[in-house]
């Protein structure tokens, strides 16, 4: 490639993108721009989704600013030319496929550094809020092929036209002709303010007779900085570059206009690093039928005991078990029973949601590696629940698996609706405290000394035998899971401090089931002469 004699940064106000055989019906992206822009149905790239390419509005919304175009590369991130970056108090406007106009405020702008530690001519910015999928604006992936395969790709070359202060947006054709470096310290554009940047070039020859040019061929002019060049992949525009610099070279037969774009795929790792804090990576667009694939797996370690009303944490491991492809833009969600205190945390995961649904996303996961999440929630009610776990990545289709959650009743949930919920309270006045009603299967709001459903006596009983006594009592079958302990104690004189636990022999046939929740336990205690009094001590340690 010849080194051009003249370089122009694409920032000054000018006519903008020039198309060889321009026709507004073919090359204008919108009709009615900028007052009431609608997609141009005759636009020669109307079949390509370019909804993620929008234009900048400064706080004063001047026509000069309408020409700046930036490209969404995630629901929150956008890229453009660093030397033509937006102000953080500006906004970006888009047109959806169905013609809706939507505007979003700019949040932050960060440079992408070159290998000298200086700003390249590429920045990554964020919107104040990410664009919901329902808004109908799709971000643009990047063309992901071997570097040598970019050469010869036909480009959708976006830019603007400014005539008498009226701006329109248009597109022409370009061709990726070769890789270059431009900016200070290189052979191209060293005298400009640009720092060294990895790029590519496209040469437009004005004399069509000698260049065999296409009627859609286009070249940029000052004012087009940051507008993208893209390639259609499966009906979606995949970004390749952002316009930075233009140069001219006059030969014997024609004037060559050399367009220089920042080569976005070169900076993918740096872009991904800047996007990870928000849980995103750049999305790959790979031409052809064979797409990058990997396999994700989910392992949840569900605790054996989950009590209603008490916080529980479930460790989750998300693993990319593939050995060839990294996973990008991971998504995870899980449905839960009605809960409070819900949170989902994990290194490099961005989580949201509460109550019955939690969601998280992560920028990427290398091959044969895993990443931990921790799901914490407090289920409000006991019961058996089916929890749907859904996960996906750019390289892994969405999968839903089912996790069974068994939430047992606790004293806290059992007593939550009582007017008097304390363990020693007796709201029905039957002489049986709430804790004992809970431990023996009573109804704390019904004065009764028996289980209503079975007629079983609630309080323990002591029966003399020829060799001692038998202490009989009701016990919850799930006593251990409910943090209940039942201990038989004895005393010779009822004095404080005289009670001690005693052990007995389980009577044959004991414990015997009463119903699905309770059993009756009978212990025979060989009575020492000094033991005359017995009691059952119930302890709750939730």
Domain chopping of the chain, boundaries = 6-278, 296-408, 419-540
In 3D space, the residue among 536, 451, 534, 523 whose CA is nearest the CA of residue 486 turns out to be: 536
DSSP 174-241: EE--EEEEESTTSSSSTTSSPPPEEEEEEEEES-HHHHT--TTBEE--TT-TT-EEEEEETTEEEEEE
Note the pTM of the prediction, 2 decimals. Answer: 0.88
User: Class assignment of domain 6-278?
Assistant: mainly beta
Distance CA 457, CA 55 (A): 79
Contacts of 498 (CB under 8 A, 6+ apart): 491, 492
E strand or H helix at 25: helix 24-27
pLDDT in the model for residue 224: 87
Contacts of 510 (CB under 8 A, 6+ apart): 520, 521, 522, 523
Contact 108, 88 (CB under 8 A): yes
In 3D space, the residue among 42, 17, 52 whose CA is nearest the CA of residue 238 turns out to be: 52
Pairing of strands 306-307, 396-408: parallel
Q: What is the pLDDT along the chain (542 residues), one digit of tens a residue?
A: 555 544 555 444 456 788 999 999 999 999 999 889 999 999 999 999 999 999 999 887 665 578 889 999 999 999 999 999 998 889 999 999 899 999 999 999 999 999 999 999 999 999 999 999 999 999 999 999 999 999 999 999 999 887 766 788 999 999 999 999 999 999 998 888 999 999 999 999 876 655 567 899 999 887 789 999 999 999 999 999 999 998 888 776 668 899 999 999 999 999 999 999 999 999 999 999 999 999 999 999 999 999 999 999 999 999 999 999 999 999 999 999 999 999 999 999 999 887 789 999 999 999 999 999 999 999 999 999 999 999 999 999 999 999 999 999 999 999 999 999 999 999 999 999 999 999 999 999 999 999 999 999 999 999 988 888 999 999 999 999 999 999 999 998 899 989 999 988 899 899 999 999 999 999 998 876 677 799 999 999 99
Give the distance from CA 263 to its chain's centroid: 28
pLDDT in the model for residue 13: 46
Structure tokens at 472: 């009989």
Distance CA 483, CA 13 (A): 76
pLDDT in the model for residue 100: 95
Identify the sign of the CA torsion 395, 396, 398, 404. Answer: negative
Q: What CATH code is assigned to 296-408?
A: 2.60.40.10
Contact 368, 381 (CB under 8 A): no
Reported as a single tens digit per residue, the pLDDT across 417-476 is 999 999 999 999 999 999 999 999 999 999 999 999 999 999 999 998 888 899 999 999
pLDDT in the model for residue 260: 95
Domains 296-408 and 419-540 are alike in CATH topology:
yes
pLDDT in the model for residue 528: 64
| 149 CB-side CA count, 13 A | 9
Query: Which residue(s) pair with 306 in the sheet?
Result: 407
Structure tokens at 107: 């949040």
Contacts of 91 (CB under 8 A, 6+ apart): 56, 57, 103, 104, 105, 106
Contacts of 108 (CB under 8 A, 6+ apart): 88, 125, 126
Contact 363, 332 (CB under 8 A): no
Give the distance from CA 128 to its chain's centroid: 16
Give the distance from CA 182 to its chain's centroid: 36
Which CATH architecture is the domain 419-540 placed in?
Sandwich (2.60)
pLDDT in the model for residue 208: 62
Reported as a single tens digit per residue, the pLDDT across 312-359 is 999 999 999 999 999 999 999 999 999 999 999 999 999 988 778 999
| 236 CB-side CA count, 13 A | 18
pLDDT in the model for residue 465: 85
pLDDT in the model for residue 221: 83
């Amino acid at each position: 490639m010849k080194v051009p004699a003249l370089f122009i940064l694409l920032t000054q106000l000018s006519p903008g993108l020039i198309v060889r055989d321009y026709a507004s019906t073919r090359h204008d992206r919108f009709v009615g721009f900028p007052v009431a822009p609608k997609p141009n149905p005759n636009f020669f790239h109307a079949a390509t989704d370019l909804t993620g390419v929008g234009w900048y509005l400064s706080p004063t919304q001047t026509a000069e600013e309408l020409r700046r175009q930036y490209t969404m590369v995630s629901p929150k991130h956008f890229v453009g030319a660093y030397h033509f970056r937006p102000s953080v108090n500006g906004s970006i406007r888009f047109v959806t496929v169905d013609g809706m106009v939507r505007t979003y405020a700019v949040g932050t702008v960060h440079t992408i550094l070159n290998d000298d530690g200086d700003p390249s001519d590429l920045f990554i910015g964020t919107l104040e809020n990410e664009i919901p999928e329902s808004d109908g604006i799709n971000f643009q992936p990047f063309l992901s092929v071997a570097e040598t395969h970019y050469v010869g790709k036909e480009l959708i070359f976006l830019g603007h036209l400014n005539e008498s202060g009226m701006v329109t947006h248009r597109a022409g054709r370009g061709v990726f002709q070769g890789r270059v470096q431009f900016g200070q310290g290189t052979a191209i554009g060293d005298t400009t303010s640009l720092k060294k940047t990895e790029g590519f070039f496209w040469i437009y020859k004005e004399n069509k007779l000698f260049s065999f040019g296409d009627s859609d061929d286009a070249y940029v002019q000052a004012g087009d900085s940051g507008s993208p060049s893209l390639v259609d992949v499966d009906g979606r525009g995949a970004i390749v570059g952002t316009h930075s610099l233009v140069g001219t070279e006059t030969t014997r037969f024609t004037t060559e206009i050399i367009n220089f774009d920042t080569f976005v795929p070169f900076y993918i790792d740096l872009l991904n690093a800047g996007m990870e804090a928000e849980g995103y990576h750049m999305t790959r667009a790979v031409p052809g039928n064979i797409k990058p694939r990997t396999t994700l797996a989910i392992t949840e370690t569900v605790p054996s005991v989950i009590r209603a009303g008490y916080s529980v944490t479930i460790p989750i491991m998300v693993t990319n078990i593939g050995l060839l492809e990294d996973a990008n833009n991971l998504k995870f969600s899980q449905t839960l029973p009605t809960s409070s205190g819900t949170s989902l945390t994990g290194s490099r995961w961005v989580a949201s949601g509460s109550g019955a649904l939690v969601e998280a996303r992560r920028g990427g996961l290398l091959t044969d590696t895993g990443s931990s999440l921790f799901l914490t929630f407090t289920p409000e009610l006991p019961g058996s629940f089916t929890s749907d776990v859904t996960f996906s990545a750019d390289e892994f289709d969405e999968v839903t698996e089912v996790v069974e959650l068994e939430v047992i009743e606790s004293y806290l949930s059992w007593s939550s609706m009582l007017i008097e919920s304390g363990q020693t309270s007796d709201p029905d006045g039957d002489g049986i405290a709430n804790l004992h009603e809970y431990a023996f299967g009573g109804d704390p709001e019904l004065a009764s000394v028996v289980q209503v459903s079975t007629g079983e006596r609630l309080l323990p009983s002591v029966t003399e035998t020829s060799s001692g006594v038998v202490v009989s009592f009701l016990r919850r079958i799930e006593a251990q899971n409910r943090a209940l302990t039942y201990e038989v104690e004895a005393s010779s004189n009822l004095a404080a401090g005289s009670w001690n636990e005693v052990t007995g022999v389980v009577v044959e046939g004991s414990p015997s089931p009463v119903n699905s929740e309770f059993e009756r336990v009978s212990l025979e205690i060989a009575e020492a002469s000094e033991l005359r009094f017995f009691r059952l001590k119930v302890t709750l340690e939730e």
